[in-house]
Structure 1
Amino acid sequence: MRRKVQTSQFRESLLIAGPAILLVAFAFWFAYQFVEPAPPASVKMTTGSESGGYYAFAQKYKRILADSGVSLEVLSSAGSIENLQRLQAPGSDVDLALMQGGIADQQNAPELVSLGRVFLEPLWVFYKGSVEVDRLVQLSGRRLAIGAPGSGTRALVSDLLTANGLNEQNTTFSSLSGDAAAEALRSDNVDAVFLVLAAESKLVRELLREPGIRLMSFANADAYTRLMPYLSRVTLPSGVIDLPRQIPDGDVTLIAAQAALVAHKDLHPAIIGLMVQAAQEVHSGGGMFQRVEEFPKAHDPELPMAADAERLYKRGAPFLQRYLPFWLANFIERMIVMIVPIATILLPLFKVAPWLYQWRIRRRILYWYRELKLLETKLNEVSAPSELMDEIERIETAVANIPVPLHYSDKLYELRSAVDLVRVRMLERSSAPGATPVSRRVAAADMAKQR
């Protein structure tokens, strides 16, 4: 009997818990659809030549990301044009690039987003001659080293020369760049070289000290910044390279491109956040052409800013990432997305399920009260109450087997008392016709005791 009652109780619990478990499982599945996958363990970044600044900066990013458990693979390239091609190549596994401003925009690279402009890259125009040159148009008909094909220098210089009416028909262009271009200038094989390098570059400092080689100061720098929004006007102060020797011997006006950190739109938000934090750590210290914390900045005149990057620039690192390891903070942030829809279901469920269980217990007890009420009605209608004895026995047996929790035992015993009361009435009605009501009640009570 006890096993039967336990089985019945288990079935009752399963009827309530089963749908609840299914509902919770559905909530987990539904919430999981909105959870970002875990960030990749490694990403690829294309930069520039291994001797250039882009590659050196990327190596610093690599060390910072390694502290968070993310491996950054740094790829060298011929320059920004090749970087753009790698990002846009079908099936490419390159995720990020350091690129010179003016190379990509939303029209020719709709699948890319910016993580911000990270530092300034001044354009240096070194030339030979006694006549001062302060406008690019003055270089018409000269031999110019404008950088290697595929490089950001070549792309920038081509735009500038075209704007000034210089082309292959009226000027001689050379693909030399870097040290090779500088050597050609020294040996009079070219008349001017165009270099996009940091002021700290060894080559720039050597050329500034070279006798007979002069640095062009852009007289119309402001015009370039209006025509090409990715350019900035910067000043190389007098004596900043070498104070004792007063190099340069006067303020020099230059134009500078702003290097951008570029990524695919679908790059994981956690990686975007890490890259922005790495850029802030590497580039916020200022330099010869930029103030402290001027870069990196959440502004890009050509590519749309990644929403996650823009949010980090405004609010800083997420709260959890300030105090927890990256992988743990990211895991908790992803799980929080699941908590909201699950809690929306679980909180009402915790209230409804107990109420539903209690309702089913009360419903079962009330069912047998109803059966007793019907039996009492029949008792008043039949001439031989003994015909209903089987019915009262059936009810009594069923009531004895009702599975109820302990705190509902009082309700069960009240029901059993009601069954006994109906039985007494039935026995009274079944007593001999000549018996007094009192004697009939006594006899009925005695029979009840005997039971």
Structure 2
Amino acid sequence: MKPPTLPVLPTGRRLLYWLLGVAVLTALGWAIVGDISPAPPRSLAMTTGVPDGAYHRFGERYQEILRANGIRLELRPSSGGVENLQRLNEGTVSVGFVQGGTGLLAQDPDAPPEATPLRSLATVAFEPVWIFSTAIDLSSGLGPLAGKRIAVGVPGSGNFKVATELLAVYGVTDGGAPATRFVSEGGMAAADLLTRGEVDAAIMIAAPEAPAVQRLLADSSVRLASLDHVQGLARRFPFFQPVTLKRGSVDPKRDLPPQDIQLLATTANLVVRDELHPALAYLLLEAARQVHRQPSIISRPGEFPSPTGTDFPLSTQAERYFKNGRPFLQNYLPFWAANYAQRLLLLLVPLAAILVPLVRVLPELIGWRRRSRLYRRYGELKFLEQDLASRKLDDEERREARAQLDRIEEEVVQTKFPLDFTDRVYTLRQHVDYVRAQLRRQSEPDAKD
């Protein structure tokens, strides 16, 4: 009967199997991470506003910042905040500017977050109601605009909505007596009409940086209305708040404006869809900080971006950003490197939770494996010894038995064991010699014959 032998996997093949196992586990783990936390897309669509407006100018600055971080920002001009809101709700864009007073919370402050797929990242600027005219005193209200030609903005825009609502409070309506006419123009087109005398007044809801506002503020022939009713109107329209344009803030040399101007103002919201990748939300917030932190003629340094006064529920990323700042890794690494490192940590943390307790039992596992290697060799020797004791082997079987003993001894000699295994190794080698001696004794009678 031939003694059984246990196959030994070559060292090189064992190493290959270990490497393959590690590669498979890594690929599987990365696939799971990719499903839990996918990489952010490399492009993003933003709805802005009219090409010559403040929203679009803001968008161009965002575009530069995101481009520097490897993200392509596609700017899509629009008629203004209302159209931006429609695009965001439809999901044709992921981010955009929305004029204050047109969002969910402005209409229903108690609305639950799940009532809309949109989230505010921040308010980013004041948007005053600029009421420009040629020579009409509007300090006591907008009633004197009855019977006049008034540029109220493009239909469907937030400017048009707010301007017509504000005029209606004073009884001024399109076509109303005596022959009031609303002109559907905004931005630079409305400014051109006013300076040429083709309209008597223009109402613009825009940030001070808007080119049309800048142009009309610098024109000494145009009058900017300072309303006495700003406090009362702010109570009537909760999304408005009073702001003051200080004397000389536009041009101190020319004393423009020549006195403090009381204005109504809302805020521009930076709004995203709730499925926007968190990394892009943080990147947009950082872009907002760079673009809007500077002071303007009606805001203080660092007043924007702000988490207050938003028209939509504040996003989770915005809450964390305004509480703790941008993610830790983004303070030290470029955007994409920080993103990959964060995703790698997402893989390593659960692996560490598995490996730490495993390391504690690893010495026992290694000891058990070493003992098992010795015990397997003892098992082969025991079987061979029992076979020798039960019968007489022929020459071929004895040669095979000697070869098996040589292999066992060679494997034991070449295998590295710790010092505390030394006595067991020597004992095994002694047993190998003992079985060899039995083989020699079994072959001696054959030699005498």
Which range, TM-score by smaller chain? Answer: 0.7 to 0.9
Tell me whether 1:327 sits opposite 2:336 in the alignment.
yes
- Counterpart of 1:35, as a letter, is S
1:281 corresponds to:
290
Separation in 2, partners of 1:179, 1:27: 56
My pick for the range that moved more, 209-218 or 77-86, is 209-218
Separation in 2, partners of 1:118, 1:195: 18
Corresponding residue SS for 1:259: strand
My pick for the range that moved more, 78-87 or 129-138, is 129-138
The answer for unaligned runs of 5 or more in structure 2 is: 106-110
**Per-residue Cα deviation, 1:149-168 (whole angstroms, up to 9, x for no partner):** 12221122234345556545
- Cα deviation for residue 136 of structure 1 reads 4.0
Going from structure 1 to structure 2, the CA distance change for 1:96 and 1:301 (only over 3 Å counts) comes to closer
Q: 1:302 aligns with which of 299, 311, 330?
A: 311
Going from structure 1 to structure 2, the CA distance change for 1:131 and 1:13 (only over 3 Å counts) comes to closer
2:132 corresponds to:
126
2:108 corresponds to:
none
1:34 corresponds to:
36
Contact kept? 1:134, 1:216, Cα under 8 Å: no
1:89 corresponds to:
90
Tell me whether 1:264 sits opposite 2:273 in the alignment.
yes
Q: Give percent identity, aligned residues only.
A: 36
1:436 corresponds to:
none
- Cα deviation for residue 122 of structure 1 reads 1.1
TM-score, structure 2 normalization:
0.76
- Cα deviation for residue 193 of structure 1 reads 2.2
Going from structure 1 to structure 2, the CA distance change for 1:183 and 1:59 (only over 3 Å counts) comes to closer
- Cα deviation for residue 286 of structure 1 reads 0.5
Separation in 2, partners of 1:256, 1:69: 35
TM alignment of 1:14-413, pairs within 5 A: 21=22, 26-37=28-39, 39-89=40-90, 92=92, 94-105=93-104, 110-127=116-133, 131-136=137-142, 139=145, 143-162=149-168, 167-168=173-174, 170=176, 172-182=181-191, 184-185=193-194, 190-199=199-208, 203-204=212-213, 207=216, 214-349=223-358, 355-363=364-372, 365-366=374-375, 387=390, 401-402=407-408, 403-404=411-412, 406-408=415-417, 410=422, 411-413=424-426
- Counterpart of 1:53, as a letter, is A
* Equivalenced residues, count: 419
My pick for the range that moved more, 309-318 or 67-76, is 309-318
Contact kept? 2:384, 2:401, Cα under 8 Å: no
- Cα deviation for residue 54 of structure 1 reads 1.4
- Cα deviation for residue 299 of structure 1 reads 2.8
Contact kept? 2:230, 2:242, Cα under 8 Å: yes
Going from structure 1 to structure 2, the CA distance change for 1:81 and 1:201 (only over 3 Å counts) comes to closer
Separation in 1, partners of 2:44, 2:245: 37
Corresponding residue SS for 1:78: coil
Corresponding residue SS for 2:182: strand
Separation in 2, partners of 1:396, 1:12: 27
Separation in 2, partners of 1:209, 1:356: 82
Contact kept? 1:368, 1:399, Cα under 8 Å: no
- Cα deviation for residue 202 of structure 1 reads 5.6
Separation in 2, partners of 1:97, 1:235: 27
The answer for unaligned runs of 5 or more in structure 1 is: 380-384, 428-442
Separation in 2, partners of 1:275, 1:192: 37
Separation in 2, partners of 1:206, 1:27: 58
Separation in 2, partners of 1:175, 1:284: 33
- Cα deviation for residue 333 of structure 1 reads 1.9
**Per-residue Cα deviation, 1:371-417 (whole angstroms, up to 9, x for no partner):** 988999x99xxxxx964667xx8998766555556234843441242
Separation in 1, partners of 2:68, 2:416: 58
Larger radius of gyration: 1
Contact kept? 1:35, 1:338, Cα under 8 Å: no
Separation in 2, partners of 1:209, 1:418: 106
